[in-house]
Structure 1
Amino acid sequence: MDRIIHGANWYVDTLNQRLRLADITLPALNRAKETLQLGGGFFNLAIPYEIEELEAPFSLNGAHEDIRGLFGREPGDWTTFYYYERLRDIVKGENKGRVVILKGLVNEVTQAKVTGKKGDATGYKVGSIIEYRDIVDGKEIHRFDVFNNHLVIDGVNYSNSHNEIIAA
C-alpha cells in the first residue's frame, strides 16, 4: 500500500492533456532474448540482449487537431511527451512523485468511432522512441537514450564503461 496512484497528467510537448486524457499506457519494458541450448544438458536458457523498441499508446476524448497534426513527422522532428504521477504511501502518509519522459514520434492515429451523437476516444501511439527516462523522487530509475548510447538501470549507469571501450 505504499504506491497508490493519486493522480497523473500527460503533456504532449507543451500541451497539457489533463482535460482530454481518456487513458495512457506507458511503454512495456522488454528485452530481446536468444535461446542458449546447453550441450548435454536438460534445459535451455533465454539470454537477454537489447531492449526492444518502446511504444506508448494513449487516448484522448475528442478529435484534437493539435495532437493529430503530429502524425507524419519524420525522424529528427521529435516530440517530447511527459507523464507525471503522484504516488501516495498511505502507511507512512507521504507523497512521492514520478516523472516519465519520452521522446519519439506519433506513429499511429486511430480515428474515433461515432455512434449517433457520441464519439469514442481517439487513439494515438507514440513510437520510434529515442529517449526514455523514468524518475521517482529525483532518482533516475531508467534511462534509455539511443543517440547518446546511455543505459541507466536502477540508477546505475551501465553505459559508462561500454562507451569508454568503443570510443577507442
Structure 2
Amino acid sequence: MSFFDQLRNTAQEAQETQRAQEMAAVQRFIKFWVKKFQNECAAAARRGGTRASKKLRQKDIPHGEYYNMDRDAVAQELAESLRNLGAQVQVDACWPGVADITAEWGQAPTSPPEAKATTGHVGSCPICMETRPVVALVPCGHTVCGTCCRSHDLRQCPLCRRQVTTATEGLFV
C-alpha cells in the first residue's frame, strides 16, 4: 500500500470516528433536552396544565463537539423522542436560530375513545389551529388552510422544512 493510500485510509477512519462522535453527542444532547422537557411538562401538569412549551435556541446548543449540529435537525429529533413518550409534539421555527417545541398531552380520557373517521379529513390547520386545511404542499403532502397559505410565504413546509415546489388547493378524497 502506498503512502497516500495509507493517508487516505487514515483520513476515512478519522472521518468515520468523527461522525460517530457527533452522532453520540447529538444523542447525549437529545437525552438531556428530553429530560429537561419532561421536567417542564411535569411542572405544567402539577399546575393543572395539559401542555408545555420550550424554546430551543442556537445558543442552547453547546459549542465544541456540538458545533456542527443543525438546530432544525436537533429540534425534529427532539420532537420525535418526545412523541415516543406519548405526547403530541409540534416544532415551529419562530425566527432564525430559535425553535419553539410544544408538547400537548390533553385531558385524561373519561370514556372510551370514539371510533376515528375512515373517510374525509378530520383536523385543523397546523399553523392557525382553527380552519380546516384544504391546501396540500408538494412534495411533502402536509396540509394547511387557504388563509395561512396565502398569508405566509410558504417556500418551506412549516412542519418538515422541506422546500415547497407547489401548493395544490382543493378538496382531498
TM-score (norm 2): 0.27
Structure with higher Rg: it is 2
Task: Considering Cα pairs closer than 8 Å and 6+ residues apart, tell me whether 1 or 2 has the greater RCO.
Answer: 1
Q: TM-score, structure 1 length as denominator? A: 0.28
Select the structure that is richer in strand. 1
More helix by share: 2
